[in-house]
Amino acid sequence: MNIPSAGPRRHYLNAGYGVRSWLLTTDHKRIAWLYLLSITFFFVIGGAFATLMRIELLTPQGDLVQAETYNRLFTMHGVTMIFFFLIPSIPAVLGNFLVPLMIGARDLAFPRLNLASWYVFILGGAFTLIAAAAGGVDTGWTFYTPYSSRYSNSQVVLTVVGIFITGFSSILTGLNFLVTIHKMRAPGMTWFRLPLFIWSHYATSIIFILGTPVIAITLVLVGLERIFSLGIFDPARGGDPLLFQHLFWFYSHPAVYIMILPAMGVVSEVIACFARKRIFGYSFVAFASLAIAVLGFLVWAHHMFVSGQSVYASMVFSLLSFFVAIPSAIKVFNWTATLYKGSIAFDAPMLYALGFIGLFTIGGLTGLFLATLGIDVHVHDTYFVIAHFHYIMVGGAVMGYLGGIHFWWPKMTGRTYPEGWAKLAALIVFVGFNLTFFPQFILGYLGMPRRYHAYPPEFQVLNVMSTAGASVLALGYLIPIIYLTWSLRYGRIAGTNPWMAKGLEWETHSQPHSANFDAQPIVREEAYAYSGEERGDLQPLGKPVDV
Amino acid sequence: MSDSRLVHAHQFDDAEQQRDAASLGMWIFLATEVMFFGGMFLGYTIYRSMYAEAFAAASNRIDLIPGVINTTILILSSFTMASAVYHAALGRGRALQISLLLTIVLGAAFLGIKLYEYHEKFEELLVPGALFSFPAPFSAAAEIFFSFYFAMTGMHAVHMIIGFGLLAKLLFDARRGRYSAGYYTPVELVGLYWHFVDIVWIFLFPLLYLLGRHL
Amino acid sequence: MWENLPLFPQQASTLAPRVDALYFFLILVSVFFAGLIFVLIFYFAVKYRRRSDADQPRAIEGSIPLEIVWTVVPFALTLVMFGWGAWLFAEIHTPPRDALEINVVGKQWMWKIQHPNGQQEINELHVPVGQAVKLLMTSEDVIHDFFVPAFRVKSDVLPGRYTQIWFHATKPGEYRFFCSQYCGTQHSGMIGRVIVMEIPDFQNWLSGGAAGVSTAQLGEKLFESLGCVSCHRPGGAVQAPSLAGLVGKPVKLEGGKTITADESYIRESILDPRAKIVAGYQPVMPSYKGSISEDGIMQIIAYLKTFNPQEGEARRP
């Protein structure tokens, strides 16, 4: 690919300086950066809450902070990490940057709506920060009634308003992705030539659209109940607290698939590139993404097995929860099979991707324990659940995010990061993560409940181990923040395609110019055409292609 | 049919792609609205089956006449909105503007009557909260009914007010000659939105006003 | 295990070993599959590591037989997990008929326990070993949860209705219980001990208490003082449904539906009598909301459970 060398090239980062050119941008690539900075900010805040929590939990007594404070810490940790870091992370940063590039478009379908989605995100975040500054909220991120709607003396209304507003950011992003993927693919980019990253963002967008409005209305009703002393969810006034739980989890369960599907998309891209092979079972992986999105809407009441709901309801939801595990398992097997007879390199993105597969597998398998009714009665609302979801969301989603950031960093910034430090950080994250969260499985089965500010002394040793691990994990996160920032100025200049990867994003400049491509791309290859498969080259499943 | 507007935004290949994308976008947005109102409809349905008698008693306290008038007004406004789209497609600028204006007027009438209804509820102590009063033994369940009444009609009204803003913008742009037979997508999209808001009302009306009524 | 570093909870109920068996089965399956993936990844990573930038692996589209195998086998395993778990769950929700019934009321941030003989305790639960015990639970305020790790049971404790758990303790000793549904400031302080005693010791403890009046007797007192007896007795002032042997019996309601008169139904009938009208009766019973506490309701229920079928038969003209 010829890169003209007359003078400094105009690209999306130097096409206009100044605050206005950033705050009024409609370029999806700049909006991705706006999101990147914002969610990193929230990640640090959520991490600070977690740090205080883990330090408190070093001793059985509640001696670092008061109970009221601790309750606000774990609530704000959950709210910040889920709504203001995990849910936007990959879609709003990597998705925004890459979706148009990967399908050969000049931008998303609705660039101004894209910018609006960021402002909405910031507005929602502002409300939540104000709520935190005004004392925070202490209901748990799950806001169960009637505690949240009547008994809690904390900033419930401000917080739910913040989350409500931010929900629209998700909806607008999902809407944009769906329309873009449907209508703006380059000539030749058929559905089954799409990168799996696009499939997973498509599936995620379905959940954004169908799920987010339900949490929106649920939080509105809780807010109204609190302000006007209504009885919609309050049994003392004729309401049903389980109705709240059903409405809440109807969104909040699919929300976890919002958090993992994009990371799975990243993993597909990275594995294909660093094994230099087409993903094994491409169409199965693509359909598995859709299956996860659909089935994910059918399992919400597995959070309610001991809530007092009927035994029959619990059995139905338990069975469905096992169903939803299968497509994820299919993906893990297909990723592993991709390595077979590949040519495998171990750059940092690949380390993150392989780490993802390991940790997601453990997290996913422990989900089966929770789906199993007889076991869930024992481990529900204990540290077993906390360990399970952190394996998926931190061991899975965050590692997917970091892997993606490293993989596309050269494309986004035109610079490479220091590979040695990156590998070291990936390793530290992996080790620190397991040290932090594996002991929590043991703690949970022992019976340590979650959201406990103080605990019986026999749980201390495991808690100390967990906190020690957390300090290692924190170090692992700090290192990339430092060298990635450093690389913006001092990193080696990257070429167009430092990884020799396949994909339309790699066929345009690093630091693409504002309209992405010099000329309209026309797609003549299958996805991941690492062996140069042209149209029609792929044999039916099972037969390797002779190239 | 003359194409007086072939310009399209830079991200699109042509005007047709832009139109298609905009239309799909609005349909997806309406799907989110279905889920949004759906949550309230679900809650309402569950409590109605739990408290059938109380809900009927509460519903009977709502004055039917303003509700019937409002339903008629809204259906009429959907007709005027559809006319607006029709005239826009035929490039009839003036007829388009009149239709839009009529839709706005009808919508305003709806909101005015709604305001009157809310005021009546306030007077009759049927607003949930500290001032609520309903005869025993249905008080708690009736309060839940009215909570849903205000939440659902209130949300509906908010959506109508937003619709107003959209219609006003359309009218403003129509007067500046922005629409033609070749380009009237915003009129179509607002039409979709307005019809959706109408359909929500058509579900709300019987569920809230007509429980346990006998002709 | 070691005192300072327990790694596994005690098994102190008939349920515990059965839950643990299922748990170990899942651990086995998990270790197998996780191990398989880990080993394969390591093996492939080493064997197929990139030797030169010119490496050109052949494209492999996939393999339908493999996809089928690794879909069907995990699916079959999950069905086993489901079935085993559901079977256990059904047992967890089926207390034996002869279970000793103890009332539990949770409130921020303590547990009030009342034995049938009237004996009350706070944050402690004395039970006999070797006998099924059923806890009938409700909350006075927010949602709590009663959890005994050593027994492997828990259930949310809800305001406005009853939930229950049951267990059959197998080893005398003291076992912690926890509130495990976040309920506010002192959530982590809402803990206590289940004290499992040999039967003679338990009898001693029961009779050693200051209580001379049983829960059912307290209920009978309430039944009179609140005026229930004026209607719900033979020749009562107003026609009222017979309460003889009511608890657990099917009741036909106005409108045709038939429901079981469980504890939640009785509670609702006391607090909101018009919610469910018994077929053939007028809706004239007043509500006792605000006039009776959760403890009081449980006492009346205990009293009703003692009704001899011969007595208290309301005669209908």
Report the CATH number at residue B74: 1.20.120.80
Whether residue A14 lies inside any domain: the answer is: no
User: Residue A407 pLDDT > 50, yes or no?
Assistant: yes
Whether residue A480 lies inside any domain: the answer is: yes
Token pair for residue C286?
Answer: 């007043």
User: What is residue B6's predicted lDDT score, i.e. its pLDDT?
Assistant: 65
End-to-end, the C-alpha distance of chain B in Å comes to 52
The total domain count for chain A is 1
Q: Does C289 touch chain A (CB under 8 A)?
A: no
Supply the range of the domain harboring residue C133: 100-208
Confidence of residue A7 (pLDDT cuts 50, 70, 90): low
User: Residue A293 pLDDT > 70, yes or no?
Assistant: yes
| Highest averaged pLDDT of the listed ranges A424-428, B211-215, C225-229 | A424-428
Whether residue B64 lies inside any domain: the answer is: yes
Whether residue C16 lies inside any domain: the answer is: no
Q: What percent of chain B has pLDDT over 70?
A: 96
Whether residue B6 lies inside any domain: the answer is: no
Quote the CA–CA distance of A198 and A99 in Å, as a whole number: 7
User: What is residue C209's predicted lDDT score, i.e. its pLDDT?
Assistant: 65
Whether residue A519 lies inside any domain: the answer is: no
Confidence of residue B4 (pLDDT cuts 50, 70, 90): very low
C190 plus C263 within the same structural domain: no
For an interface test with A, give the residue of B35, B44, B152 to mutate (most A CBs within 10 A). Answer: B35
Nearest to B105 by CA among B63, B78, B124, B77: B77
Nearest to A82 by CA among A397, A507, A451: A397
Q: What percent of chain C has pLDDT over 70?
A: 94
Supply the range of the domain harboring residue B181: 15-209
Segment A45-54 mean pLDDT: 97
C247 plus C278 within the same structural domain: yes
> Which residues of A327-456 form beta strands (DSSP E)?
none
Chain C residues with CB-CB distance to A461 below 8 A: 4-5
* 3-class DSSP string for A381-410: CEHHHHHHHHHHHHHHHHHHHHHHHHHHHH
Nearest to C62 by CA among B44, B9, A545, A354: A545
User: Residue C188 is nearest to which of A325, A368, A455, comparing CB atoms?
Assistant: A455
| Cβ-count burial A457-495 (b if 16+ within 10 Å, e if not) | ebbbbbbebbbbbbebbbebbebbeebbeebeeebeebe
Whether residue A544 lies inside any domain: the answer is: no
> Which residues of chain C form beta strands (DSSP E)?
100-107, 110-114, 120-122, 124-128, 132-139, 144-148, 153-157, 163-168, 173-179, 191-197, 250-252, 258-260
The domain boundary, picked from C183, C208, C233, lies at C208
Q: Does B136 touch chain C (CB under 8 A)?
A: yes
Whether residue B185 lies inside any domain: the answer is: yes
User: Residue C316 pLDDT > 70, yes or no?
Assistant: no
* Helical segments of A229-310, H only: 241-275, 282-295
Quote the CA–CA distance of B210 and B207 in Å, as a whole number: 6
Nearest to C290 by CA among A233, A146, B135, A236: A236
The per-residue pLDDT of chain A, averaged, comes to 94
Whether residue A104 lies inside any domain: the answer is: yes
Whether residue A320 lies inside any domain: the answer is: yes
The total domain count for chain B is 1
C149 plus C221 within the same structural domain: no
Helix (H/G/I), strand (E/B), else coil: C194: strand
Whether residue B34 lies inside any domain: the answer is: yes
> Which residues of A315-440 form beta strands (DSSP E)?
none
The domain boundary, picked from C151, C182, C208, lies at C208
Instruction: Answer whether A215's CB lies under 8 Å from A167's CB.
Output: yes
C226 plus C191 within the same structural domain: no
Distance of residue A236 Cα from the nearest chain B Cα, in angstroms: 9
Are the beta carbons of C61 and A372 separated by less than 8 Å? no
Helix (H/G/I), strand (E/B), else coil: A91: helix
Whether residue B66 lies inside any domain: the answer is: yes
Listed by number, the residues of chain C in 252-291 with a beta carbon closer than 8 Å to a beta carbon of chain B are 272-274, 287
User: Residue C148 pLDDT > 80, yes or no?
Assistant: yes
Confidence of residue A475 (pLDDT cuts 50, 70, 90): very high
Supply the range of the domain harboring residue A386: 22-507
Are the beta carbons of C273 and B137 separated by less than 8 Å? yes
| Bridge partner residues of C177 (DSSP) | C192
Nearest to A403 by CA among A421, A416, A418, A422: A422
Size of interface A-C (CB pairs under 8 A): 315
pLDDT top residue among C210 and B126: B126
Helix (H/G/I), strand (E/B), else coil: C60: coil
pLDDT top residue among A179 and C260: A179
Give the CATH number of the domain where residue A134 resides: 1.20.210.10
Q: Which range has the worst mean pLDDT, A508-512, C47-51, C171-175, C279-283?
A: C279-283
User: What is residue C282's predicted lDDT score, i.e. its pLDDT?
Assistant: 86
C141 plus C180 within the same structural domain: yes
User: What is residue C313's predicted lDDT score, i.e. its pLDDT?
Assistant: 38
For residue A146, cis peptide bond before it (omega within 30 degrees of 0): yes
C176 plus C239 within the same structural domain: no
Whether residue B85 lies inside any domain: the answer is: yes
Whether residue C40 lies inside any domain: the answer is: no
Would you give the DSSP letter of residue A144?
-
Are the beta carbons of C87 and A374 separated by less than 8 Å? yes
Strands C120-122, C110-114: pairing is antiparallel
Phi and psi dihedrals of C100, rounded to 5?
A: -75, 125
ipTM value for the complex: 0.92
- For residue A72, the surrounding DSSP H or E stretch is helix A67-81
Are the beta carbons of A442 and C7 separated by less than 8 Å? yes
Instruction: Answer whether C271's CB lies under 8 Å from C288's CB.
Output: yes
Quote the CA–CA distance of A50 and A433 in Å, as a whole number: 13
Other chains touching C, judged by 3 or more CB pairs under 8 Å = A, B
Distance of residue B51 Cα from the nearest chain C Cα, in angstroms: 8
The total domain count for chain C is 2
C191 plus C269 within the same structural domain: no
Quote the CA–CA distance of B188 and A286 in Å, as a whole number: 34
Listed by number, the residues of chain C in 180-209 with a beta carbon closer than 8 Å to a beta carbon of chain A are 180-189, 191
Q: Which range has the worst mean pLDDT, A69-83, C18-32, C41-55?
A: C41-55
Whether residue B144 lies inside any domain: the answer is: yes
Q: Which range has the worst mean pLDDT, A367-376, A417-426, C28-37, C219-228?
A: C219-228
